[in-house]
A = this chain, B = another copy of it.
Amino acid sequence: MRAIMFLTVTFVLSVVSVAAGAQTDKVRAAIEATNRKFEAAWAKKDAAAAAALYTEDALAMPPNGPVAKGAQAILDMWTAALPTVPGPIRLITLETSTHGDVAHEVGTYVIWGADGKIVENGKFVVLWKNEGGQWKLHRDIWNSDMPPAK
């Protein structure tokens, strides 16, 4: 009986461990796919499409502004911000780590101007949450590498 329990526990933990590795790859792919959607929403200045990538009770934490709490505030934030962006954005995922229905991502971003020159680059951390099978941004914070605009 004790041997059966030991073997069963070992087996369960092995399956959990192997599943976790495979899950991380899948989650990273889902996160990167969602980042491509964010870039597309940014390019089209489509605030609704950008906001739809966040959870209902997400927090977006922009530099030099208050926290946007929840779906409506995040929609308002992107509705105000996207008309002012100079050109495309690219999000570069540096690392992800998955823990059940949450994951974290560390990355960098680049923003180009209309003339194709880089106007800003920075870094971000996102805590992702799996909501009904969809990985969504749940906590989103970023800042610029560049000195403050004068």
A residues with CB within 8 A of B:
1, 4-5, 8-9, 12, 59, 61-67, 97, 99-100, 102, 104, 106, 123-125, 127, 139, 141-150
Q: How many copies does the complex hold?
A: 2
Closest residue to A4 on the B side, CB-wise?
Answer: B4
Q: If the complex has contacts A9-B12, A106-B59, are A64 and B4 also in contact, measured as CB distance less than 8 A? A: no
Please, which residues of chain B bring their CB within 8 A of the CB of A125?
Answer: 61, 125, 127, 139, 141
Contact partners of A145 in chain B: CB under 8 A: 64-67
Most chain B beta-carbon contacts within 10 A, residue among A100, A141, A146? A141
Cα(A22)–Cα(B16), bound, Å:
21
State whether A127 and B104 are in contact (beta carbons under 8 Å apart), knowing that A8-B8, A148-B149 are contacts in the complex: yes
A65, A143, A145, most chain B CB atoms within 10 A: A143
A-B residue pairs in contact (CB < 8 Å), sample of 23:
A1-B4, A9-B12, A12-B12, A59-B106, A61-B123, A61-B125, A63-B143, A64-B143, A64-B147, A65-B145, A67-B123, A99-B99, A99-B100, A99-B102, A102-B104, A106-B139, A124-B141, A125-B127, A125-B139, A125-B141, A143-B143, A148-B148, A150-B150
